[in-house]
Structure 1
């Protein structure tokens, strides 16, 4: 058994620049990314599963108000917070996802329970929360998710007559992908969607094959970006298919899928890990919150800069 393991995580992509972030927000986001990275890396270094590692990593990000997932999630146009998440096991291609949650503290954990404790893949809204109640999954008052900065962003959007898909925005999503010492892969993604969303809108994050996908034969992928275009391209599965069927290198596959998204008018980013342990990201926005750890000693945290590595 090889002892090679890899972990990559993200906290969203978009107009992330020193001029817009900077200062305390930059320091806080960087610290949180490092904390989530180290939590997931500890699981993998101890011989734990890729599934446990990505859930652990995403839970840390969901609990941190610097990111648009869990606590710190974006507000809908009517002032609510609705949460989506998905997780997938690359070994069996079992998957679970949830959408439209309002009371579940860690949506990624409920997504995993959908995968392990139900015959379904995707549950939404009241039904998902009723399912959570049968399992004793932790709930909180919806006010727990609310932070002042997200409310300010909604108020600003409304005041200027904008909409949820303004181009000058940060796509708020968190995610993680991992390869464990057994050679297995997993992916997880969690989000609060976009500020000002309406009508129960659901983006790519909880949709298997669009924003989240894992297959031991190819790669594990978590996406962040303009969800409607990511859904139309099927970005996460597209990357895996290019690797498995066309023989593309992971970096080439990721760039090609995001090029398809751009052709449809969208932008964003992806993180990818392969069966060999290759761990990379690619994005078409000014920045992406991201971090990485490997058994070879790599320990990265980055917010701005080059799109591919």
Structure 2
């Protein structure tokens, strides 16, 4: 049987159990910044994403299908900075990034600067499965999406009044190259299926006010997303430039695989290193041993997890 440890989220995979961990971003999530209504909406949304992925895993479906569906649910929810509800660039546009990785084969797909594809995670997966490439960008990525028959929308679909307000506020301040208030609403999911395979997916709208086609860690394999059946599956959220510099997702997997560290220790060590160089954010992880963990250095992180013998759990604040 699976033996959950309520303190760490660790479970031992003795009988082919499944796991799912999700996030909706890390940053300045504190009780004085989030209204009770927002709190409820976000927890419900996280629950829906867990339900979508766990419905697949509980029936023997693949980790890859589970993370795809969980992230798709979060992309469709305007509470998060991915898909509908994404933040605006300096010029008032929306540029979407996503990636996915299959731990069975270490196949991966990623897209950056997408502007008309409704669900970037589906496009990243199509890049992985139906192209000879790993990473496509901008008009080429959207063109490939159309050739593949993925649903396209007018760019206005992604915008919400709240994101427009945040953009206007940012432009009025006339400071910095992007929003420095540390609102990282990137979404992601990692899963372990009954067959012992892992997968990870991440999707984001980037940073409010980003310029010059800036790309963060979310679509960068090894930085914001990584999956390897020999070690773990990781999805990250936070200050992307720092995650790229450290290769955070791969670094955690490498520590687990080569040093034999638990996922919690590996993640905590890498997040500590991230802190030392000035980065803020967090990660979620699962692996073949059944651990379901998260680690972050921000005040809060939208997150949730569920296992074949562990009930659904959602949380926002650091003290939960």
Band of TM-score, shorter chain: over 0.9
State the alpha-carbon separation in 1 of the partners of residues 268 and 116 from structure 2. 36
Instruction: Quote the residue 1:203 is aligned against.
Output: 216
Instruction: Quote the residue 1:106 is aligned against.
Output: 119
Whether 1:292 and 2:305 are equivalent positions in the alignment is yes
Among 261, 278, 298, the alignment partner of 1:265 is 278
CA contact (8 A) 1:214 1:221 kept: yes
Whether 1:159 and 2:172 are equivalent positions in the alignment is yes
Instruction: Quote the residue 1:61 is aligned against.
Output: 74
Between 166-175 and 279-288, the greater mean CA deviation after superposition: 166-175
CA contact (8 A) 2:179 2:207 kept: no
Instruction: Quote the residue 1:17 is aligned against.
Output: 30
Cα deviation 1:183-240 (Å, max 9, x = unaligned): 0000000000000000000000000000000000000000001000000000000000
Instruction: Quote the residue 2:153 is aligned against.
Output: 140
Per the TM alignment, residue 165 of structure 1 is displaced from its structure 2 partner at its CA by 4.6
Cα deviation 1:46-78 (Å, max 9, x = unaligned): 100000000000000000000000000000000
Cα deviation 1:238-284 (Å, max 9, x = unaligned): 00000001111111110111111111111100000011211010110
TM-score normalised over the length of structure 1: 0.97
CA contact (8 A) 2:90 2:210 kept: yes
CA RMSD in angstroms, aligned pairs only:
1.2
In the alignment of these two chains, the number of paired residues is 307
Instruction: Quote the residue 1:120 is aligned against.
Output: 133
Instruction: Quote the residue 1:180 is aligned against.
Output: 193
CA contact (8 A) 1:11 1:173 kept: yes
Whether 1:255 and 2:282 are equivalent positions in the alignment is no
In structure 2, the gaps of 5 or more residues are 1-13
TM-score normalised over the length of structure 2: 0.94
